[in-house]
Amino acid sequence: GEDVEQSLFLSVREGDSSVINCTYTDSSSTYLYWYKQEPGAGLQLLTYIFSNMDMKQDQRLTVLLNKKDKHLSLRIADTQTGDSAIYFCAEKSAGGYNKLIFGAGTRLAVHP
């Protein structure tokens, strides 16, 4: 079945880069997404990558996609305390209209 896995926790020092990893199982996924959730809030679409791309950069964010290994990563450069949040990796399910399959989320803690 469809499954998305992420490491649960990452701690980084302010100013360093953060790398959050994700693996997925559905090789037919057309889009893969990264969402950010701040405490007590809904999910905010952070960035996405189309399956025929290897990399996408958007300001401090870099998404890398290894389709062969079904591995997705999100790199945040110059991590700030405001980046502390939970980051969810998601893939579009092949089975339903815009149905997304989410990973468990990676809690990013940024310390001084």
> Given the rule CB under 8 A, which residues bind other proteins?
30-31, 33, 35, 40-45, 48, 88, 92, 96-100, 102-105, 107
Give whichever of 14 and 58 is closer to other proteins, judged by the CB atom.
58
Give the shortest CB-33-to-other proteins separation in angstroms: 6
Give whichever of 11 and 17 is closer to other proteins, judged by the CB atom.
11
Residue partners of 15: CB distance under 8 A and separation at least 6: 78, 79
Give whichever of 70 and 112 is closer to other proteins, judged by the CB atom.
70
And the tokens for 18? Answer: 């953060």
Is beta strand 31-37 parallel, antiparallel or unpaired with respect to 4-6? unpaired
Residue 33 CA to residue 101 CA, distance in Å, equals 10
Amino acid at 112: P
Give the shortest CB-61-to-other proteins separation in angstroms: 16
Give the shortest CB-15-to-other proteins separation in angstroms: 27
User: What is the CB-side half-sphere exposure of residue 85 using CA atoms within 13 A?
Assistant: 19
Give whichever of 17 and 28 is closer to other proteins, judged by the CB atom.
28
Number of C-beta neighbours around residue 111 at 10 A: 10
Give the shortest CB-71-to-other proteins separation in angstroms: 18
